[in-house]
Amino acid sequence: MNISHIEHIGIAVKNLNESIKFYEEVLGFKCYSIEEVKDQKVRTAFFMVGQTKIELLESTEPDGPVGKFIEKKGEGIHHIAFAVKSLADSLKEAESNGVQLIDKHPRAGAEGLNIAFLHPKSTCGVLTELCEKP
């Protein structure tokens, strides 16, 4: 699949502002961006930790993917995202290896990236996102 690095780790939180406070005031990181992704029904906050990015996700609707996740499992790690060179090729490769695709085609995600999700039932229980810089 030609994965180059972990693009980010997504963490589902109930309250974005409270969680930003913890990440800034207790852990000492700086939130560099807050963005709403309307079609995913989330508000996100980003932090760089060394070379690794953390994305906090607050649901804007109870029936969104993060709202449903929190309802079922509570706050916690929601997904891992890998950077790939060609998202379309990686999706084809994943599908040919029997992986269930949530997104059959790349779509627009936060920070201007093209993204697609693989279903956790076929990725060892971890919701997996692939990201490509356009």
Residues that bind ligand CMX (CB under 6 A): 10, 37, 40, 42, 44, 57, 65-66, 68-69, 72, 78-79, 102, 109-110, 117, 119-120, 125, 127
Smallest separation, CB 39 to ligand CMX (Å): 9
Tokens for 122? 């076929």
Q: Which residue has the tokens 């997996």?
A: 128
Q: How far is the CB of 101 from ligand CMX (least distance, A)?
A: 10
Shortest Cβ 4–ligand CMX spacing (Å): 19
Residue 66 identity: V
Residues 6+ apart with CB under 8 A from 109: 37, 40, 115, 129, 131
Helices (H), ranges, the chain: 16-21, 65-73, 87-96
C-beta closer to ligand CMX: residue 25 or 63: 63
Least Å from the CB of residue 19 to ligand CMX: 15
Judge whether 94 and 46 are in contact, CB under 8 Å.
no
Residue nearest to ligand CMX (CB): 65
Whichever of 60 and 86 has its CB closer to ligand CMX, that residue is: 60
